[in-house]
Amino acid sequence: MLERTVHLSSCSLGARSADLDHALGRMAADMTLGAGAWERFSRQVDRARARFARLIGADADRVAVVPNASVGAYQVASTLGRRRGRHRIVSSTAEFPSISHVWLAQGRDGTEVVHAPCAGKPVDATADGYGDDGAGDWAGDCVADYAALIDERTRLVSVPLVTYAEGRVMPVAEIAAIAHAAGAPVFVDAYQAVGVRPVRVDELGCDFLVAGTMKYLLGLPGLAFLYVRAPGSLGLDPVLTGWFGRVDPFAFDVSLLDFPAAATRFETGTPAVPAAYAANAGFDLVEPLDLTEVRDHVLALTDLAAGGLRERGEQVVLPPRRTRGAHLCLFDPEPESLARFLAEHGVSVSPRGRYVRISCHFYNDAGDVAALCAAVSAYRSKHGSCGGVRVHS
């Protein structure tokens, strides 16, 4: 794929690899075994679970395989139970909407959802982001925003590790400490982080973490993982369940609803088997990497891209290195139009809102950045300048 495309959209979908193609071919071959294929399918799912657990520094029995991050969030929200007076979920304006929507849907039982305004800080798109240009301490203000909302009413605190829109690393450990002091567990969406930077659940201090395989883990849509620090100690058993959520899925007892103590209690029906094969292909590529080196490589590339784009008069949002994930944002009045043009010229990016997101992974290099800058310049030559607009996040 990388011979044909400059892939700068891993924040949306990882690059297709030969390893993934071969894995799907193995799955097709395994299907010829008939009923015997299910043993191999299950082995792929269990192997993916164990490899994700190692990646985040957890035991495999604390990880459930779920279809996507939204189902993972629902399994947490619906099983916490309402302790007396604990009716508040604290999220933020930086949350990915699908996660926030799950929290909002709990309002039917009287749950209150409040959002810390962490995505509402001003950003000068011609500078290095909030914090580097003297505007203030974004991370510190974000902690304060959460702290103002967390109290004895809080049932759950939700924090994205890296924000999907502007690629900011959230101060999860600091927020988690405040939440735990108030007696509230912490949910982390790590989809924009796992596979492109080190992620360790003990360092984050989180009680739950969700991430999926289709972005920096280089797999397919359809498979995600839910980490639960103490799977058997939540207030309620899951309502959304299925045969893989049983103590023995192969007991086939229609009258018995039992739940294991492990995180598999949050699983439901048959998982997306092709995505499990693809997940293991992605892990084959990611596991040998030093993710600290990957993070530093990506930070250098985003610095290079920001410098090259600004030299051409472009406006980018680039958080300081200490609070930067794997992508930067290029402002454009018509980001979808810019993204289509770049795709036609062999450069894949991901438009969101007012921005085109430009994300890097270990397989990107300076040549990719040069190709991006040249393609953006070609777009401006055809469509004109973006107008010197000052951007606020």
**Domain encompassing residue 378:** 6-16+290-383
Average the pLDDT over 87-100 and give the result.
Answer: 96
268 contact partners, CB below 8 Å, separation of at least 6? 66, 67, 71, 240, 241, 242, 244, 245
Q: Is the pLDDT higher at 364 or at 391?
A: 364
Same domain, 162 and 244: yes
Same domain, 200 and 306: no
Identify whether the C-beta of residue 95 lies closer than 8 Å to the C-beta of residue 69. no
Span 172-219, pLDDT tens digits? 999 999 999 999 999 999 999 999 999 999 999 999 999 999 999 999
Average the pLDDT over 244-273 and give the result.
Answer: 96
Identify the weakest region by mean pLDDT among 12-21, 42-51, 110-119, 262-271: 110-119
pLDDT at 126: 43
Over pLDDT 70: what percentage of the chain? 93
Same domain, 221 and 368: no
Number of structural domains the chain divides into:
2
234 band by pLDDT with thresholds 50, 70 and 90: confident
In 128-181, which ranges are continuous DSSP H helix?
A: 138-147, 172-181
390 part of a folded domain: no
Report the chain's mean pLDDT, rounded to a whole number. Answer: 92
Same domain, 91 and 216: yes
Separation between Cα atoms, residue 218 and residue 392, nearest integer Å: 32
Span 321-348, pLDDT tens digits? 999 999 999 999 999 999 999 999 999 9
Span 117-147, pLDDT tens digits? 986 444 444 444 433 433 458 889 999 999 9
For residue 376, the domain's CATH number is 3.90.1150.10
CA 339 from chain center: how many Å?
21
pLDDT at 85: 82
